[in-house]
Amino acid sequence: MNREDLHKKFRKALVLWRNGRPVDAATLLDQVVTAGSQEPLHLSYYGLLTATIFGNRKEGLSFCERAMTYDPSEPDVAWNLARIYELGGEKVKAIKTLRRGLRAAPGNPRLLETINRLSPRKTPPLSVVDRNHALNKHLGIVLARLGGRYCNDDAAPTAQRSPQEVWLAK
């Protein structure tokens, strides 16, 4: 199969998946990967469907990680890998993968929505003053360093920067 035929099958598989036929989509993607495709998107979606539809998380994770090494700038590759990490209960790895994807594709809505769901902003320490007030900023930083406010420093955005800017800085 030539490269164009592989890509046509891939696009058809995505349509099948979006139309509620994930098993048929996975079957087509299996044909694409078995034919030798090394396209990161092909490997990534095949990995996601292998993990979610067939329950083979280990194999799906392997395909998605390989896709991420081939093209870490593709947002869908990062999103698919993060989904598998999340399914396996590896929330921290999922968040780190999403941040890596946001560095390559700032403002990507799917990556932002997923990271906001997995790592929402905490309420400010003092609700009587604005979130951007210096007291909230400095108290939040101190509490984060002491470990009493946030689970880890990765989840603690600063008051002067948007959550996206904080995630991109990691």
- CATH code where residue 94 lies: 1.25.40.10
Handedness of CA 143, 146, 149, 154 (dihedral sign): positive
Does one domain contain both 103 and 167?
no
pLDDT of 149 reads 53
The confidence score (pLDDT) of residue 141 equals: 86
Regarding whether 30 and 86 lie in a shared domain, the answer is: yes
Residues 98 and 14 in one domain: yes
Q: Among candidates 66, 71, 102, which has minimal Cα distance to 84?
A: 66
Q: List phi, psi (to 5°) of 131.
A: -55, -35
160 pLDDT band (50/70/90 cuts)?
Answer: very low
Cβ atoms 33, 46 nearer than 8 A: yes
How much is the average pLDDT of 83-107? Answer: 94
Higher pLDDT, 108 or 165: 108
Q: Are residues 113 and 135 in the same domain?
A: no
Measured CA to CA, the distance from residue 76 to residue 80 in angstroms comes to 6
pLDDT at position 67 over 70: yes
Range of the structural domain that residue 136 is part of: 121-170
Residues 81 and 126 in one domain: no
**For the chain, what is the mean pLDDT?**
86
